[in-house]
Structure 1
Amino acid sequence: MSQPRRTSRRRAWTALTLPVLLCVLAACSGGPGDDAAAPAPSASPTPSGPPGTLFDTFHYSGPDDPALAAHGWEVRTGGGGPGIKDTWSAGGVGFPADATAQGGGVLQLHSSTDGTKQGTQQVEVQSTGKNLFTGTFAARVHFSDKPTTGRNGDHVVQTFFPISPSDSSPDYSELDYEYLPNGGWGSVGPRLDTVTWYKADPPDRVSHTLKQHLEGWHVLLVTAVNGKVTYSLDGKEVFTSSGKYVPREKMDVHFSNWFIDLPFAGGPRAWDMKVNWFYYKADEALTQADVQKTVDGFYGAGTHYVNTLPQS
């Protein structure tokens, strides 16, 4: 059974980044030093990318990099929940080098707390296009089983999920991956919850829990086509939903790292979640091998960002 629905799931958002550039090519480069004209290997995608594709390696200089907003990403700094309400901060968003990541760089979500609300910082980054619907959603994500610094024991939630723009939408849709290394809501960890939502309030969803440690890098993949949603972890299917438990409207994609509660005040500690890349292909159910081949092609071409989705 999935955890209780988080209150105030959709929040007031404020864009940290500069206003979106008025004229951005759909397949412009992802950051300083990119070579958009670099030719792709003959067997790999071109830098412009095939139709219906969104791809990003998070090749940015920081949360205030104008390209981040131009490429349709927003850092949360508004109020609301879930977790410790009104503690969302851009201070935990970074794009450091990482030798363990494909291409050597990541989006890092660094959440921290000292056990008090005043000393808590939660982190979330979301897309802003609201044009992701059926197809394949995939991300290479690094989960943490223990804090980067400080004492272990927090009920932290490390997530990747497409979701409707509003909880009150009549066609509400949400597809969740949630990793809880120490459990939460009365459960013990570790646990990976995969959840398909039909309605936010009152909660109406179906779910599956995988109880195992997942420290390290994993490819999280969701396919939503032909009336069926399939969740796969590192190429292995873990859960499916169908019937009314499928996307019914276009969604944004979110990455977040937050605390359910503050179980102790034993000094400062910090938790890191990392995202290597995100890939979406509209209207097609791809395997992990399909996804990785395309991603490898983009990396081989020196392509950090592709967006060939229809404008909405």
Structure 2
Amino acid sequence: MRYFSHRLSALLSLLVATNAAADAVGIFFDDFHYADTAALINGGWKIRDQQGHPGIEHGQWGPGTISLVDDPNIGGQRLLRLEASTDGKPEGTFQAQLCHQRKYFEGTYAARIRFTDAPVQGPGGDLVVETFYTASPLKHDFDPQYSELDWEYLPNGGWGNPHSRLYSVSWQTVQMEPWNAFNQVHEEPRALGGWHTVMMQVAGGKIRYFLDGVQLDEHGGRNYPAQPMAINFNLWFSPSGVLPDTKAERRYQQDLAWVMHIKDRVLSPAQVDAAVSTYRRAGVHQIDTVAAMTPPLPSNCDF
């Protein structure tokens, strides 16, 4: 306990300004050290089970698409696994989404993700989308308060470009039908199968996107978030790029090692890595001192 207190004190000293009280820091960290999905839900997460955007129309979302597995590379650690599968038909399509509460706004966001370039079963080629993002509900077309910050990996290309690439996208607003989007986009044109740390600094009207410690782009202006958002991950198939019906099931996986948010503080990639290491050495698998909004905002996990 003394070791834990010392490490936590050191972490808080790292995260807070000298004139701020340590207990005022809002920290959310989770490395998915859960026995099963029931424990995951008790830990504050929600597994999507409602049909709707994005993905294949009438495709399914549900508990069977999320699992907890042992990390094969780090003894004693767990991973969260999203799995999406399709046979090319809506009734044979299952997509995965995991959401946390809608209470996150400015500060630092980071996650450790294993992107995959090929299915674990069946032929490759479907336009599959592997994501980490924050979002608020779209109440209506061109909602001026809509807020969303995205990482989207397309291993098989799509949306008019056949090449593998990673998107970082900051949204102003959107109309769903017919599609009309207002956002700022960076494209990283390369295959990125394997483990990566993605990070966003959201402060002072600017959003800075980092991949494995390297800044890729800076967004802002009208694309800066306007209201608190939920933290989300999902894995889905774009209907514009699904293979013809081959009667062969395809399964894709995306693994998560950890996710972190530091409220109202801008951390460097090195500081995020140091914070995660501190927690893991201390055996801390989850902490959440980010206060809910008053009253709490709905977190529907349906978008």
Q: TM-score, normalised by structure 2?
A: 0.85
Q: CA separation in 2, counterparts of 1:241 and 1:47? A: 29
Q: Contact between 1:41 and 1:297, CA under 8 Å: does it hold in 2? A: no
Which residue matches 1:138?
110
The CA deviation at 1:43 is 4.0
- How many residues align? The count is 273
> Structure 1's 176 and 98: CA in aligned 2 closer, same or farther, altered over 3 A?
same
Instruction: Give percent identity, aligned residues only.
Output: 34
1:182 has 2:156 as partner: yes
Q: CA separation in 2, counterparts of 1:165 and 1:46? A: 37
The CA deviation at 1:186 is 2.3
The CA deviation at 1:255 is 0.3
The CA deviation at 1:264 is 2.4
Which residue matches 1:237?
215
Q: Contact between 1:149 and 1:269, CA under 8 Å: does it hold in 2? A: yes
2:159 corresponds to which letter in structure 1?
W
The CA deviation at 1:215 is 0.6
**Bigger shift: 175-184 or 100-109?**
100-109
Unmatched runs of 5 consecutive residues or more in structure 1: 1-36
Unmatched runs of 5 consecutive residues or more in structure 2: 13-21, 294-303
1:233 corresponds to which letter in structure 2?
L
Aligned residues: CA RMSD: 2.0
Q: Contact between 1:47 and 1:303, CA under 8 Å: does it hold in 2? A: no
1:126 corresponds to which letter in structure 2?
C
Between Structure 1 and Structure 2, the one with more strand by share is: 2
The CA deviation at 1:111 is 0.7
Q: Contact between 1:45 and 1:294, CA under 8 Å: does it hold in 2? A: no
Q: CA separation in 2, counterparts of 1:230 and 1:103? A: 33
> Structure 1's 73 and 157: CA in aligned 2 closer, same or farther, altered over 3 A?
same
1:99 has 2:111 as partner: no
Q: CA separation in 2, counterparts of 1:127 and 1:170? A: 23
Q: CA separation in 1, counterparts of 2:161 and 2:174? A: 21
**Residue number among 257, 264, 276 corresponding to 2:244 in the alignment:** 264
Give the 3-state SS of the residue equivalent to 2:231 in structure 1: strand
Give the 3-state SS of the residue equivalent to 1:91 in structure 2: helix
Which residue matches 1:273?
254
**Residue number among 7, 19, 37 corresponding to 1:63 in the alignment:** 37
Give the 3-state SS of the residue equivalent to 1:264 in structure 2: coil
Which residue matches 1:214?
192
Between Structure 1 and Structure 2, the one with more helix by share is: 2
**Bigger shift: 92-101 or 228-237?**
92-101
Cα deviation, 1:111-154, whole Å, max 9, x if unaligned, reads: 111222111110000112x1100000000000001111111111
Give the 3-state SS of the residue equivalent to 2:160 in structure 1: coil
1:118 has 2:80 as partner: no
Q: TM-score, normalised by structure 1?
A: 0.82
Give the 3-state SS of the residue equivalent to 1:64 in structure 2: helix
The CA deviation at 1:44 is 4.5
> Structure 1's 142 and 42: CA in aligned 2 closer, same or farther, altered over 3 A?
same
Q: Contact between 1:83 and 1:258, CA under 8 Å: does it hold in 2? A: yes
The CA deviation at 1:311 is 2.8
